[in-house]
Amino acid sequence: MPKSPKSANPTAKSKKAYAAAGVDVDLGNRVKSGIHAMVKGTHGAEVLGKIGGFGGLFRANFKGMKDPVLVSSVDGVGTKLKLAFAANKHDTVGQDLVNHCVNDIAVVGARPLFFLDYIGAERLDPPVFQQLIKGFAKACKEAGCALIGGETAQMPGMYQQGEYDLAGTIVGVVDRKLALDGSRTKVGDVIIGLASNGLHTNGYSLARKVLFEKMGLHVDSMLPGVAKTLGDELLRVHKNYQPLLAKLPQGMIKGLAHITGGGLIDNLPRVLPKTTDAVIDTKTWKVPAIFEHIREGGSIDRTEMYQVFNMGIGMTVVVSAADREKALKLTKGKVIGRIEKGSGVVRLEF
Q: How far apart, in Å, are the Cα atoms of 277 and each of 271, 272, 304, 346? A: 11, 7, 19, 6
> 21 or 62, which is more confident?
62
Instruction: State the average pLDDT over residues 100-109.
Output: 99
> What pLDDT is attached to residue 2?
46
More confidently predicted of 109 and 52: 109
> What's the confidence (pLDDT) of residue 30?
73
Show the DSSP H helices in 112-268 as ranges: 126-143, 204-208, 230-234, 242-245, 263-267
Give me the pLDDT at residue 20, please.
77
Are residues 168 and 99 in contact, defined by beta-carbon separation less than 8 angstroms?
Answer: no
pLDDT of residue 1: 45
- What is the pLDDT at residue 4? 47
Mean pLDDT across the stretch 309-329? 99
> What 8-state DSSP symbol labels residue 67?
S
> Rounded to whole angstroms, how far apart are CA atoms 83 and 204?
9
CA–CA distance, 198 with 235 (Å, rounded to integer): 8
Whether 171 shows a pLDDT value over 50: the answer reads yes
Phi and psi angles of residue 275, each rounded to the nearest 5 degrees, phi first? -100, 10
CA distance 327 to 338: 14
Q: Where are the domains of the chain?
A: 22-178, 189-348
What is residue 11's predicted lDDT score, i.e. its pLDDT? Answer: 61
What architecture is the 22-178 domain classified under in CATH?
A: 2-Layer Sandwich (3.30)
C-beta atoms surrounding 297 within 10 Å:
17
* Alpha carbon distance 22, 121 (integer Å): 11
- DSSP E strands in the chain: the ranges are 47-48, 57-58, 68-76, 111-121, 146-154, 164-175, 190-195, 255-258, 276-281, 313-319, 334-341, 346-349
Looking at mean pLDDT, say which of 16-20, 153-157, 198-202 comes out highest: 198-202
Query: What is the average pLDDT score of the chain?
Result: 94
Quick one: pLDDT at residue 49? 87
What pairs with residue 349 in β-bridges? Answer: 281
- What is the pLDDT at residue 38? 94
pLDDT above 90 (res 263): yes
Residue 14, pLDDT above cutoff 90 = no
The pLDDT, as a whole number, for residue 259 is 99
pLDDT tens figures, 206-244 = 999 999 999 999 999 999 999 999 999 999 999 999 999
Angle, helix 25-33 to helix 126-143, in steps of 10 degrees:
40
Above 50 in pLDDT, residue 51? yes
Spatial distance between the Cα atoms of 302 and 348, rounded to a whole number of angstroms:
10
What is the Cα–Cα distance from 26 to 42, expressed in whole angstroms?
26
- Going along 204-311, which residue ranges are E strands? 255-258, 276-281
237, containing H or E segment: none
Candidate CATH numbers 1.10.8.50, 3.20.20.10, 3.10.129.10, 3.90.650.10; the one for domain 189-348: 3.90.650.10
Residue 46: is its pLDDT beyond 80?
yes
